[in-house]
Structure 1
Amino acid sequence: MSKKSKRYKALLEKVDLTKQYTLSEAIALAKECATAKFDESLELHVRLGVDPRHADQQVRSTIVLPFGTGHTKKVAVLALGEKQKEAQDAGADIVGGEDLVAEIQNGRLDFDAVIATPDIMKAAGRLGKVLGPRGLMPSAKTNTVTFDVAGAVKEIKAGRVEFRVDKTAITHNAVGKASFPVENLLGNVKALLRAILKARPAAVKGTYVKSITIAATMGVGIMVDPVSAQKDAAAE
Structure 2
Amino acid sequence: MIARSKRYKNSLGDGLNESGQELGSAVSALSGFNKAKFDETVEVSFSLGVDPKQTSQAVRGTVNLPHGSGKEVKVLVFTENVEDAKSLGADYAGLEDLISKIKDGWLEFDVALSTTSAMKEVRSIARVLGPRGLMPTPKSGTVTDNLEEAINQVKAGRVEFKMDKTGSLAVVIGKRSFTNEQLEENARAALDAVANSRPEGYRGRFIKSMHISSTMSPSVRLDSSQYQ
TM-score, normalised with respect to structure 1: 0.89
Checking the alignment, whether the CA contact within 8 Å between 2:45 and 2:168 is kept in structure 1 is yes
Shift of 1:67: 0.9
% identical equivalent positions: 38
Moved more, 12-21 or 68-77: 12-21
| Alpha-carbon spacing, 1:25–1:165, altered in 2? closer, same or farther (3 Å) | same
State the partner residue of 1:111. 109
Instruction: Note the alpha carbon deviations across 1:81-133, whole angstroms, 9 max, x for none.
Output: 3xx22311121111112111111111111111111111111111111111111
Shift of 1:17: 3.3
1:60 and 2:57 correspond: no
Shift of 1:14: 4.3
CA distance in structure 1 between the aligned counterparts of 2:157 and 2:52, rounded to whole angstroms: 26
Q: For structure 1, list consecutive stretches of 5 or more residues without a partner in the other structure.
A: 232-236
Matches within 5 A, 1:91-170: 91-170=89-168
CA distance in structure 1 between the aligned counterparts of 2:34 and 2:91, rounded to whole angstroms: 31
CA distance in structure 2 between the aligned counterparts of 1:137 and 1:202, rounded to whole angstroms: 23
Shift of 1:65: 0.6
Matches within 5 A, 1:2-81: 4-5=6-7, 9=10, 11-81=11-81
Instruction: Note the alpha carbon deviations across 1:17-50, whole angstroms, 9 max, x for none.
Output: 3232211111122222252110101110011111
TM-score, normalised with respect to structure 2: 0.91
1:189 and 2:197 correspond: no
State the superposition RMSD in angstroms.
1.9
State the partner residue of 2:211. 213
CA distance in structure 2 between the aligned counterparts of 1:31 and 1:43, rounded to whole angstroms: 13
Structure 2 counterpart SS, 1:86:
helix
Shift of 1:8: 5.8
Structure 1 counterpart SS, 2:159:
strand
Checking the alignment, whether the CA contact within 8 Å between 1:34 and 1:217 is kept in structure 2 is no
How many matched pairs? Answer: 224
- One-letter identity of the residue aligned with 1:143: G
State the partner residue of 1:199. 197
- One-letter identity of the residue aligned with 1:74: K
Checking the alignment, whether the CA contact within 8 Å between 2:16 and 2:219 is kept in structure 1 is no
- One-letter identity of the residue aligned with 1:184: Q
- One-letter identity of the residue aligned with 2:74: K
Bigger helix fraction = 1
| Alpha-carbon spacing, 1:173–1:64, altered in 2? closer, same or farther (3 Å) | same
Instruction: Note the alpha carbon deviations across 1:198-236, whole angstroms, 9 max, x for none.
Output: 1111231121111011111111111111115x49xxxxx
Structure 2 counterpart SS, 1:56:
helix
CA distance in structure 2 between the aligned counterparts of 1:206 and 1:125, rounded to whole angstroms: 34
